[in-house]
Amino acid sequence: MAPGIGRDQLVRNTVTVLGTLAEFHREPIPYNLGALVRLVSELRPDLLCLDITFDQWQRRDFGDLPPEYREALLPLAYQTDIVVVPIAGEHPPAEPAAGGWRGRIIALLRRWLASLQRTAPGPTAFVGGPRHHLADLLYAVMAWLAGPHTYRAWKAYTNHLVREVLAVIRRDPGCRVLVAVNLRHCHHIRRALERHHEIRVVPYAQF
């Protein structure tokens, strides 16, 4: 905090973190790509932080991006005045995988994750609440089953995203910032941001 400035005098950024579901958005689930576009359109953030690299953004190289970016959020940003801010690391970890019984359990947990989404009562059920927390737990268990290297790699990558979001917020004080990243990162990013009093982390409904 700058000398002589009290907490109530800080220009605070309002931030909400929205979890995305990668390939599951294409499934027949309430939280599909159309629902995601409607939700972000209603939120109308000043800045939209996405897990893409600056190089991908600069070259418009979106072919390898997950569908929620390639087919939903990036086209939406082009059609509106939402500013996209790339926050990805250069080498994101691979999806958790393993051989033997660990691999079979990972496959089972992914089926549970898909079922959890298909049976959701509405598109916002995965943005917060019990299903959101349970999905986060399933992602964490899958990373743990894949082995310590994979688990540490995902943890390090989440920490990188936190640092990038903090840098964005400090460059643009007073902005409304939406962070749209895979659901496995959401809880960790929220908790890290809440430690900083220049940031007001809110649920999407209060954004």
Identify the pLDDT of residue 30.
63
Q: Give the torsion through C-alpha atoms of 174, 176, 179, 183, to 10 deg.
A: 120
Q: What is the pLDDT of residue 2?
A: 45
In this prediction the pTM is 0.87
pLDDT digits 0-9 by tens, 160-195: 999 999 999 999 888 999 999 988 899 899 999 999
Q: Which of 7, 43, 6, 18 is nearest to 200 (CA)?
A: 7
Write the CB contacts of 80 (distance below 8 Å, at least 6 apart in sequence). 41, 44
What is the reported pLDDT for 173?
A: 87
Structure tokens at 144: 């743990």
| The pLDDT of residue 46 | 94
Query: Looking at residue 205, what is its pLDDT?
Result: 85
Model pLDDT, residue 167: 94
Q: Could you give phi then psi for residue 115, rounded to 5 degrees?
A: -65, -40
CA-nearest of 181, 186, 193, 170 to 11 is 170
Quote the pLDDT of residue 91.
Answer: 81
Looking at residue 11, its pLDDT comes to 65
- The whole-number pLDDT of residue 26 equals 59
Half-sphere exposure of 109 (CA within 13 A, CB side): 22
Low-confidence ranges of the chain (pLDDT < 70): 1-11, 23-30, 123
Which residues on adjacent β-strands are paired with residue 83? 47
Domain boundaries defined on the chain: 7-206
Distance CA 20, CA 180 (A): 7
Q: What is the pLDDT of residue 86?
A: 94
